[in-house]
Chains A and B, each alone.
Chain A
Amino acid sequence: MLASSKTPRWIKAEREGIHLPTIDWWIDPSRPAANALVTHGHADHARGGHGQVWATCATRDIIALRYGTPTGGRDLDYNEPLDIGDSITATFVPAGHVLGSAQILLERQGERIIVTGDYKRRPDPTCLPFQPTPCDILITEATFALPIFTHPPIEREIARLLAAREANPDRCILIGAYALGKAQRIIAELRRAGYHETIWLHGAMVAMCELYERHGIEFGALALVSEASREALKGQIIVCPPSSLNSAWARRLPDPINAMASGWMRVRQRAVQRNVELPLIISDHCDWNELTGTILELSPEETWITHGREDALLHWCAQHQMRARALDLVGREEDDTG
């Protein structure tokens, strides 16, 4: 528990990330830092240019793929405490967000702080499930922190996807999905639902899928769209980055049904704005009930809220007599990782 009712002096929220001032270490810094603890590989958390990078093995592989191998630091196992100085230990705990994603538990003289990074509470065949960890201060994300966001079961969304494919044998289904995490989860869920045909990839998805495979995730038959004829793609499922929906690249496909896999698809106009015909409400973040449920479950003395709609969650915390404050971190806007 916290040593006094005041916020501990060994942690500070700065605009550039969470800072440990006594040792000058950072968590998910948006500017190059000498020592960076990185929760997961998404670009709003993991950046290039740091000195020592401390993260899970998969996250460090993702960073290496995107920015080149970090100059220092090392791979950490989940639940392996790391002594980082000034009596502070950092422990990486599964966050259930994407492959390699972690919450970071920071402990010092009995005070416990969890930095969730991004997380979800639903099962995901491509990563370890979120591990609830008691703490005094919970620093939580709030991407979908409005009560309108309740994600349906993924089985329902996958069934809608397969039904649309079934009903349109002359068209292909083009799913816009973020290249790290979302794309692989959808492929894995399609396999779990018994879909065993080749799944076609946009070139930009290949390297990350291979990285997942190296970490033991199996996807079945994958192939590049560029290797198939237009005719052969009829009735097929294709996965591409969201930015490639409606692009010149998509024009050579057989009358694609634009699908988009994102928590934002819960709101009709968000789908219409992106010309999405088949909105799939699939998110790697918590929905409203999971966010509020996690806060209730962990009952921290204080909750700090980062990226997202902090107003609603702050209000909810106040209604439930829980101490909370919003952090203003840069570069965490509404994006396609949702």
Chain B
Amino acid sequence: MDRFARLLTDLIYTRSRNSKLALLADYLRTVPDPDRGWALAGLTGELNFPSVKAGIVRDLIKERVDPVLFSLSRDFVGDTAETVSLLWPAPPGAVAPPPTVSEAVSALSAATRATAKPIVAGLLDRLDEDGRFALLKLATGALRIGVSARLAKTAFAQAFSVPLDDVEEIWHALRPPYTDLFAWVSGAAAKPDITSLPVFRPFMLANPLEDAVLDLADYAAEWKWDGIRIQLVHAGGETRLFSRGGEDITASFPDVARAFAQEGVLDGELLVRGAAQGGEAGGAASFNALQQRLGRKVVSASMQAAYPAFVRLYDMLFDRGEDLRRLPWSDRRVRLESVVARLDPGAFDISALIEAGDFDELTDLRAAARETDIEGVMLKRRDSPYEAGRKAGLWYKWKREPLTADCVMMYAQRGSGKRSSFYSDYTFGCWTAPEAEGGVLLPVGKAYSGFSDEELRWLDGFVRKHTVNRFGPVREVEKSLVLEVAFDAVNPSTRHKSGIAMRFPRISRIRRDKPAAEADEIDTLRRMIVSSPGIAASPVEADPRSLTD
């Protein structure tokens, strides 16, 4: 654990990507199996100890440290694991030497709800500050130390001079501590064979289209549907649905999984039947309808009937045993069309191509699409292979222009992690009526992005100087600062007193020039709602697409 703890500490204080890669590669090369494999699993977010919840860590520390002092400390540090690692008292008497990573992982895996507390406490007792920090990060799942799974895999590929694409390709078929992976790169075994396994393949992703004008002779256009991107895999007699991050969501959509029973890998958008997106012709309900079905372990028949899910197909990666990914998009499209024709039309359709003579015409069609609540346009290079990741020049997403409103800052809260010393999360509101006529501000949303570091410092200073009330970590501020907020849509909401919720709000400008009384009224926002009858929006902050897109 010492070596892993040192790695985490070094990574936290290292800024350059190359230096991070070098630290990771050195660790992966020099630490023996299985410790390095478990560490790699931790770094890529593949470890999960269901019985070890953040709550038990808080319980443990409150048994050892005054709870008020703990919560004041936690508020200052902004991170529970770090706070606990700093506050954990040395146990009386002699302690056993620090556990290895494997020892810690097997102890945590064996934990049940009844034994988790003593197990975690026993491990913490044997570690120093850095070790406790590393253990708690590992145990509670999210390292958040500025190392993405992608970076960890890149470091692995560099450490052993193997292509990153090969690592990504087989990754989802492997399980920690990845002994077969390390055996392959050390020459002790062949590359793991995954052809007959129902595993996730990395998605091809689009870049935002900035101001470019594309030639439609080279690019095909499709609508951008607002569901969740999924991969459907059938291999070895099993069907699986994977979300953007490779998470297996088959259990939530048995109706869709059942409908695909031929060998192959498809790429598409998971949607619910309806008429919100693109009207009757669009055939898809709003994202909120889909949300009713996400995250469920069991889905009742009535739920399936009320929110019938289907997949609008974009692409095909494998057809039976054949890997199509090196073929140009136009060839894959032909193969996909012939496959869709044989699938159940209740569960599958194909994402239609937009008929546009030239880019100008496409621009007009996209502008008109806001009326029918379509999110935007996708542009795909006709000769593009299916490449993992976000390769430049191949696929573009061209989202519709965001909507904006002028709102007034009402509350602020400290951020987490790197921003824990700044008030970086802002709740803002709009007027119920003009202020002169007795209108009041009601919250309409919350945003924690869109501003530069410099603007953040300014906003933080504003909050500190204009606090009128404190509620734990939340500060109420003087209602004087106007923020121009950009957002993608407005939904009706029963959760907010204002009756509305913004989709993807972010701060687009600080309007120091504008008096608060001139901020927008809630009615203005309400008029931006595109009707999707009978479906209440979930709170903005719970929007799961922040995880998938």
B294 at the interface (CB under 8 A from A): no
Answer yes or no: A251 CB below 8 A from chain B CBs.
no
A316 B77 Cβ-Cβ under 8 A: no
Confirm or deny: B100 has a beta carbon within 8 angstroms of a beta carbon on chain A: no
CB atoms of A146 and B13 under 8 A apart: no
B13 touches A271 (CB 8 A): yes
With A268-B82, A279-B13, A315-B68: A273-B73 Cβ-Cβ less than 8 Å: no
Residue A311 lies at the interface, judged by CB distance under 8 Å to chain B: yes
A66 at the interface (CB under 8 A from B): no
Measured between beta carbons, the chain B residues less than 8 angstroms from A275 are 15
The verdict on B110 contacting chain A, using a C-beta distance below 8 Å, is: no
8 Å CB interface, B70-92 against A? 72-73, 76-79, 82-83, 86-87
Residue A298, interface by CB 8 Å = no
Name B69's contact: one of A266, A271, A278, A315 (CB within 8 Å).
A315
Q: Chain A nearest CB: distance from B471 CB in Å?
A: 15
Kindly state the separation between the CA atoms of A276 and B14 in the bound complex, as whole angstroms: 8
Q: How far is the CB of B83 from chain A (nearest CB, A)?
A: 6
**B130: nearest residue on chain A (CB-CB)?**
A268
User: CA of A236 to CA of B435 in the docked complex: distance in angstroms?
Assistant: 63
A262 vs chain B, min Cβ distance (A): 13
Q: Please measure, in the bound complex, the distance between the C-alpha atom of A267 and the C-alpha atom of B13, giving whole angstroms.
A: 12
Write the nearest CB–CB distance from A92 to chain B, whole angstroms: 33
Can you list, as one digit per residue, whether each of B102-141 has a CB less than 8 Å from chain A (1) or not (0)? 0000000000000000000000000000000100000000
- Contacts between chains A and B (CB distance < 8 A), count: 61
Please determine whether A148 and B73 come into contact, CB atoms closer than 8 angstroms: yes
- Once bound together, how far apart are the Cα atoms of A277 and B11, in whole Å? 10
Interface contact B12-A268, CB-CB below 8 Å: yes
Interface segment out of the listed B280-288, B383-391, B414-422, B437-445 = B414-422
At the interface, is chain B mostly helix, strand, loop or mixed? Answer: helix
Bound complex: CA A148 to CA B133 (Å): 13
Q: Are B82 and A267 in contact (CB under 8 A)?
A: yes
Q: When the two chains form their complex, are residues B72 and A146 in contact, meaning their CB atoms are under 8 A apart?
A: yes
- For chain A, residues 271 to 295, give those with C-beta under 8 angstroms from any C-beta of chain B: 271-273, 275-279
Question: Contact at B69–A309, with CB atoms within 8 Å?
Answer: no
- Are B72 and A278 closer than 8 Å at their CB atoms? no
B421 and A273 form a contact (CB under 8 A): yes
Contact present for A270 and B421 (CB under 8 Å): yes
For B77, give its contact among A150, A269, A312 (CB under 8 Å): A269
Within 8 A of B (CB), among A306-338: 309, 311-312, 315-316, 319
Instruction: Let me know if A134 is at the binding interface, CB within 8 A.
Output: no
Q: Which residues of B contact A276 (CB under 8 A)?
A: 13
Write out the residue numbers on chain B whose beta carbons fall within 8 Å of the beta carbon of A123: none
Given A147-B65, A266-B86, A312:B79 Cβ within 8 A: no
Q: Does B211 contact A (CB under 8 A)?
A: no
Residues of B contacting A312 in the complex (Cβ-Cβ under 8 angstroms): 68-69, 72-73
Most buried by B among A271, A272, A276: A272
The 0/1 profile, CB within 8 Å of B marked 1, for residues 238-282 of chain A is 000000000000000000000000000011111111011111000
Question: How long is the Cα–Cα vector from A106 to B72 in the complex, in angstroms?
Answer: 33
Tell me the bound Cα distance from A147 to B76 in angstroms.
Answer: 11
Is there contact, CB below 8 Å, between A315 and B73? Answer: no
Distance in angstroms from B90 CB to nearest chain A CB is 11
Q: Which residues of B contact A319 (CB under 8 A)?
A: 66
- Number of interface residues, chain B, beta carbon within 8 A: 24
Shortest B514–chain A CB gap in Å is 29
Q: A279-B13, A312-B69, A319-B66 are in contact. Are A148 and B83 (CB under 8 A)?
A: yes
CB distance from A287 to the nearest CB of B (A): 12
Total A residues in contact with B, Cβ cutoff 8 Å: 23
CA distance A271 to B82 in the complex (A): 13
A72 to B82, CA, bound (A): 50
Give Cα A32–Cα B9 distance, bound, in whole angstroms. Answer: 46
Residues on B with C-beta less than 8 A from A271 are 13
Known: A315-B66, A316-B69. A278 touches B421 (CB 8 A): no
Which residues of chain A have C-beta atoms less than 8 A from B83's C-beta? 148
Interface centre among A147, A148, A276 (most CB of B within 10 A): A148
The answer to whether residues A277 and B14 also contact, given A146-B69, A266-B86, A319-B66 and a CB cut-off of 8 A, is yes
Q: Of residues A146, A147, A268, A275, which shows the largest number of chain B Cβ atoms within 10 Å of its Cβ?
A: A268
Chain A residues whose CB sits within 8 angstroms of the CB of B79 once the complex forms: 269
Beta-carbon nearest neighbor of A267 in chain B = B77
Across-interface contacts of B133 in A (CB, < 8 A):
268
- In the assembled complex, the Cα of A311 lies from the Cα of B76 at a distance in Å of 12
Q: Is the CB of A273 within 8 A of B69?
A: no
**Cα A315 to Cα B72 with chains together (Å):** 10
A309 CA / B69 CA spacing, docked (Å): 11
User: Complex Cα distance A279/B68, Å?
Assistant: 28
B418/A269 in contact, CB under 8 A = yes
Q: Which residue of A lies closest to B453 (CB)?
A: A273
Contact status A148-B14, CB under 8 Å: no
**Contact A309–B87 (Cβ < 8 Å):** no
CB distance from B38 to the nearest CB of A (A): 23
- Contact yes or no, B13 A277, CB < 8 A: yes
Q: Do residues A147 and B73 form an inter-chain contact, with CB atoms below 8 A?
A: yes
User: How far does the alpha carbon of A147 sit from the alpha carbon of B420 in the complex, in Å?
Assistant: 18
Chain B residue nearest to A311 (CB atoms) is B72
Interface string of B1-44 (1 = CB under 8 A from A): 00000000100111100000000000000000000000000000
Contact A148 B13 (CB under 8 A): no
Q: Would A146 and B73 be within 8 Å (CB), given that A266-B86, A269-B79, A279-B13 are in contact?
A: yes
Q: For the complex, give the distance between the alpha carbons of A279 and B82 in Å.
A: 16
Once the chains are docked, how many angstroms separate the CA of A311 from the CA of B86? 19
A278–B9 alpha-carbon span in the complex (Å): 11
A312 to B418, CA, bound (A): 23
Is there an interface contact between B418 and A309, defined as CB atoms closer than 8 Å? no
A152 to B79, CA, bound (A): 21
Chain A, residue nearest B78 (CB): A269
Whole-angstrom distance between the Cβ of B392 and the nearest chain A Cβ = 29
Known: A147-B87, A311-B72, A312-B68. 7 other contacts (CB 8 A): A146-B69, A146-B72, A267-B77, A269-B421, A272-B12, A276-B13, A309-B76
Interface positions of B (Cβ within 8 A of A): 9, 12-15, 65-66, 68-69, 72-73, 76-79, 82-83, 86-87, 133, 417-418, 420-421
28 pairs, A vs B, C-beta closer than 8 Å: A146-B69, A146-B73, A146-B76, A147-B65, A148-B76, A148-B77, A148-B83, A150-B86, A267-B77, A268-B82, A269-B79, A269-B82, A269-B417, A269-B418, A269-B420, A271-B13, A272-B13, A272-B418, A273-B418, A279-B13, A309-B76, A311-B72, A312-B68, A312-B69, A312-B72, A312-B73, A315-B72, A316-B69
The 9 closest A-B pairs by CB, nearest first: A148-B86, A148-B73, A312-B72, A315-B68, A146-B73, A277-B13, A147-B69, A269-B420, A267-B77
